[in-house]
Amino acid sequence: MNPFTIRIFAPNSETLVNRGQEIELEITGFAFGGNGIAKLGSEKGDYVLFVQNTFPGQRVLAKVNKKKKRYAECKLLKVIERSPQETKVPYQEISGAPYIHVPPALQEEHKQTTTLDIYRRLGNFQDIQERFDSFISSPNHYNYRNKMEYSFSCIEHDIETDEEIDDAFALGFKHRGTWWKVESLNKESGLFDAEWENKLKEVREYLKATGLPAWHPPRKEGFFRHIVVRKSFDQDQLLVNLVTSSVGQEQFDAEAFGEFLKTTFGGRIAGFQHTINDNVADRAKIENGNCSLVFGSNIVVEKLLGLEFEISMESFFQTNPKSAERLYNKAMDYVFEGDNTLNGEVVMDLFCGTGTIGQILSTRTEDAEIIGVDIVEEAITDAKRNAKRNGIDKVKFYAADVGKFLLEYPEYQGKIGTIILDPPRAGIAPKTLKKVIALGAQRIVYISCNPSTQARDAEQLRQAGYDMRKLSLVDQFPHTGHIEAVAQFEFDASMVKTEEEN
Ligand SMILES: C[S@@+](CC[C@H](N)C(=O)[O-])C[C@H]1O[C@@H](n2cnc3c(N)ncnc32)[C@H](O)[C@@H]1O
């Protein structure tokens, strides 16, 4: 045990912590989703505290957010002492990459163990190890993201002194656990484009020199609000969107800033947009507003498994495209395994986003009819445009709620051999999953960015006769607690439970 840690013993450790309390803890274990575990001893046994984004061996300052009888959930405020397993890295630490000091192989080992445990506990797969196929690493452990959002604030958290500075001009990421304080990014974070982040300081100095103020989050006033950058790895180009309010707009020379970007980043800036957004609602999307293209193009083009995708500022696109290729290849292996050629079949790509999976599928089949469905109209518009760009006419895209779509098109019931599912983090609503099951597919390939909801949905699928045959984990987001999963389910009539058995 760390010599600085005071291990508290009390008759009833439940009484040791209160909601809102700040407490120093030693992290001794690790659970799914990047939850470090600390324990407080008592005569009645250990009281467990989960602290998000921590790692075994760290000594941390945490705040109790939720208190239950047997455990508490805490928010990390500060790492006081690093784990002996952590190493020095040349990056500036940001709250979005809490494991940047943990060697990638160790991150992966912990992700695999804790994620498989979730399938055991939430999906009741005691034999998960036999179903587990592979752990797929991200091809790039660093600088893998293709989109980053930076915030301005006139309240700065100084990373050297740990002090709050008012009347500042900060540009970077929010200080851990706050929504008003920004830590200026002075060198790359290790997640996004190195050149862009290493020169962000120059961007900040340029904008500060305009004399216009950075946003004041509590007062909801100021001029500079955010910078959002999109990257195409294939073109090695950046698309920049500066989001400001309209107050002071006439004093801002967007064209001059555009020239500054061109000079600073050479030919790498594909386009520069200026968005004026006066919406101060907490949940408003930062990019919404009045957008004008100052120079260049409002899209970049990314290549994925040989196909081209136009990406605008608003489009949904996999954040780690190089790793997404590995994810999609594994999904394709699961689709085509055995002699599942899909020829002459109807294939559903449900929750299709910008239609990436459906398009990849269509390049590997002869005469399958592929149907993509997503609720976001703009995503479907992007999907159709990209399919055209790639010369693909075998995929039909529909903008609709998956549940409603399946009700409105009952003719597909019983005609579908294979379904690909890629729902959002919340998983699939039980009612919608019931409708998917009613389609009667032989095989379902289910991609998930949240294994805990996938494990839950796997239980519903099992009761309907779908056996999870294979599972792979893909590390789409190194240095975070997140992990992506892809599973192959096969219908087995002998597994279907009767009403009485249920
Ligand atoms: C994880 S993303 C899918 C990404 C996509 N398959 C890809 O690889 O690019 C989940 C998608 O589900 C869509 N979605 C969420 N709820 C939905 C619903 N009820 N019906 C249809 N689509 C929905 C979202 O718009 C989002 O595009």
C-alpha count within 13 angstroms, C-beta hemisphere, residue 213? 15
Q: Is the Cβ atom of 349 under 6 angstroms away from ligand 1? A: no
CA of 178 to the centre of ligand 1 (A): 29
pLDDT reported for residue 78: 92
pLDDT reported for residue 13: 52
Atom from ligand 1 closest to the CA of residue 324: 8
Of the chain, the end-to-end C-alpha distance in Å amounts to 48
Measured by CA distance, the residue closest to atom 27 of ligand 1 is: 353
Nearest Cα to Cα of residue 12 among 33, 50, 54, 43? 43
Q: Is the Cβ atom of 445 under 6 angstroms away from ligand 1? A: no
pLDDT reported for residue 7: 44
Q: Is the Cβ atom of 376 under 6 angstroms away from ligand 1? A: yes
pLDDT reported for residue 130: 97
Residue 2's pLDDT band (cuts 50, 70, 90): very low
pLDDT reported for residue 14: 53
Q: Which ranges in 269-392 belong to alpha helices (H)?
A: 321-336, 356-362, 377-389
How far, in Å, CA of 127 to CA of 139, rounded?
29
CB 405 within 8 A of CB 379: no
Q: Is the Cβ atom of 318 under 6 angstroms away from ligand 1? A: yes
CA of 448 to the centre of ligand 1 (A): 11
The string of DSSP codes covering 46-115 is: PEEEEEET--TT-EEEEEEEEE-SSEEEEEEEEEEE--TT----SS---TT-TTTTS-HHHHHHHHHHHH
Nearest Cα to Cα of residue 349 among 360, 333, 336? 360
Residue 46, marked binder: no
Is it the case that residue 27 has pLDDT exceeding 80?
A: yes
Q: Using one digit for the tens of pLDDT, what is the confidence trace for 170-214? A: 999 999 989 999 999 999 999 999 999 999 999 999 999 999 999
pLDDT reported for residue 155: 98
Q: How many helices (H) and strands (E) does the chain have?
A: 11, 26
Is it the case that residue 153 has pLDDT exceeding 50?
A: yes
Is it the case that residue 297 has pLDDT exceeding 60?
A: yes
pLDDT reported for residue 386: 95
pLDDT reported for residue 1: 38
pLDDT reported for residue 284: 61
pLDDT reported for residue 411: 80
- Among residues 74, 154, 352, 449, which one is catalytic? 449
Tokens matching residue 495: 């597994």
CB 301 within 8 A of CB 110: no
CA of 147 to the centre of ligand 1 (A): 18
| Overall average pLDDT of the 243-264 stretch | 97
Please report, rounded to a whole number, the percentage of residues in the chain having pLDDT higher than 90: 82
- The answer for residues whose C-beta is within 8 angstroms of residue 109's C-beta and 6 or more apart is none
CA of 141 to the centre of ligand 1 (A): 26
Sign of torsion over alpha carbons 307, 312, 315, 318: positive
Tokens matching residue 413: 């019931």
Nearest Cα to Cα of residue 315 among 253, 382, 235, 400? 382
Is it the case that residue 6 has pLDDT exceeding 60?
A: no
**Which mutation among 305, 318, 357, 374 tests ligand 1's pocket best, with the greatest number of atoms within 8 A of CB?**
374
Q: Using one digit for the tens of pLDDT, what is the confidence trace for 366-410? A: 889 999 999 999 889 999 999 999 999 989 999 999 988 988 887
Is it the case that residue 488 has pLDDT exceeding 70?
A: yes
CA of 354 to the centre of ligand 1 (A): 9
* Amino acid identity, position 164: E
Query: Does 125 or 499 have the greater pLDDT score?
Result: 125
Measured by CA distance, the residue closest to atom 5 of ligand 1 is: 353
Residue 252, marked binder: no
Measured by CA distance, the residue closest to atom 11 of ligand 1 is: 351
Enter the DSSP assignment of 225: E
Q: Is the Cβ atom of 379 under 6 angstroms away from ligand 1? A: yes
ipTM over 0.95: yes
Nearest Cα to Cα of residue 236 among 268, 261, 258, 263? 268
CB 144 within 8 A of CB 191: yes
Q: Is the Cβ atom of 356 under 6 angstroms away from ligand 1? A: yes
β-partners of residue 292 are: 274
pLDDT reported for residue 280: 85
CA of 425 to the centre of ligand 1 (A): 9
pLDDT reported for residue 493: 86
Q: Is the Cβ atom of 354 under 6 angstroms away from ligand 1? A: yes
Q: Is the Cβ atom of 355 under 6 angstroms away from ligand 1? A: no
Is it the case that residue 260 has pLDDT exceeding 60?
A: yes
The string of DSSP codes covering 244-280 is: E-STTGGG--HHHHHHHHHHHHGGGEEEEEEEE----
Query: Does 301 or 501 have the greater pLDDT score?
Result: 301
* Amino acid identity, position 298: N
β-partners of residue 239 are: 230, 271
Tokens matching residue 198: 């290493």
CA-only gyration radius of the chain, Å: 25
Residue 351, marked binder: yes
Residue 502's pLDDT band (cuts 50, 70, 90): low
Q: Is the Cβ atom of 424 under 6 angstroms away from ligand 1? A: yes
CB 379 within 8 A of CB 315: yes
Query: Does 500 or 391 have the greater pLDDT score?
Result: 391
How far, in Å, CA of 443 to CA of 430, rounded?
19
pLDDT reported for residue 500: 64
Residue 318, marked binder: yes
Residue 222's pLDDT band (cuts 50, 70, 90): very high
Q: Using one digit for the tens of pLDDT, what is the confidence trace for 323-351? A: 999 999 999 999 999 988 888 889 999 99
CA of 433 to the centre of ligand 1 (A): 14
How far, in Å, CA of 385 to CA of 366, rounded?
22
pLDDT reported for residue 282: 63
Measured by CA distance, the residue closest to atom 6 of ligand 1 is: 352
**Which mutation among 349, 351, 402 tests ligand 1's pocket best, with the greatest number of atoms within 8 A of CB?**
351
Neighbour count for residue 151 (Cβ, 10 Å): 23
> What is the enclosing helix (H) or strand (E) of 24?
strand 22-26
CB 26 within 8 A of CB 1: yes
Q: Using one digit for the tens of pLDDT, what is the confidence trace for 29-61? A: 999 999 999 999 877 788 999 999 999 999 999
Tokens matching residue 142: 């660093």
Tokens matching residue 408: 């409105």
- Is 449 a known active-site residue? yes
Residue 166's pLDDT band (cuts 50, 70, 90): very high
Sign of torsion over alpha carbons 14, 17, 20, 23: negative
Domains of the chain: residue spans and CATH: 9-86 (2.40.50.140), 108-140+320-495 (3.40.50.150), 147-304 (2.40.50.1070)
Length of the chain: 502
* Amino acid identity, position 9: F
Q: Using one digit for the tens of pLDDT, what is the confidence trace for 178-187? A: 999 999 999 9
Measured by CA distance, the residue closest to atom 15 of ligand 1 is: 424
How far, in Å, CA of 453 to CA of 458, rounded?
8
Q: Is the Cβ atom of 325 under 6 angstroms away from ligand 1? A: no
